[in-house]
């Protein structure tokens, strides 16, 4: 399969963590959030890929503790960059091209 970040026909292929981040970046901007099922439908990934960032966001009061929705709290909307930053892909030693 294609490795994360590798060009395929001139277009960059996103890895699972990047795909999850892109989804969350857009979804958390919406005041009403999105149904959790939309994450899996849109990305093809299970919600477990959002852990431990999702639990951390809930613990910090930035994300509603609602398993059926991905929605920022009022504080999370106020500190949206901090909230979205929790979902940034980690850059480990195996991420080199």
Of all residues in the chain, what percent carry a pLDDT higher than 70? Answer: 80
Is the pLDDT reported for residue 2 higher than 50? Answer: no
Task: Check residue 88 and report its DSSP letter.
Answer: S
Which burial class, exposed, middle or buried, applies to 21 when counting CB atoms under 10 A from its CB (0-12, 13-18, 19+)?
A: buried
- 81/44 Cα distance (integer angstroms): 25
Rounded to an integer, what distance in angstroms lies between the CA atom of residue 20 and that of residue 89? 9
Whether residue 83 has pLDDT greater than 60: yes
Looking at residues 58-64, what average pLDDT do you find? 98
Looking at every residue in the chain, the average pLDDT score rounds to 87
List, for residues 23-60, the tens digit of each pLDDT value: 999 999 999 999 999 999 999 999 999 999 999 999 99
């Amino acid at each position: 399969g294609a490795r994360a970040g590798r060009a395929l026909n001139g277009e960059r292929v996103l890895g699972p963590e990047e795909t999850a981040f892109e989804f969350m970046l857009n979804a958390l901007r919406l005041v009403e959030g999105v149904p959790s099922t939309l994450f899996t439908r849109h990305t093809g990934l299970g919600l477990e890929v959002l852990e431990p960032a999702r639990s951390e966001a809930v613990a910090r009061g930035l994300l509603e503790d609602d398993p059926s929705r991905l929605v920022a709290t009022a504080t999370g909307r106020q500190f949206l960059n901090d909230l979205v930053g929790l979902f940034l892909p980690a850059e480990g030693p195996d991420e080199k091209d």
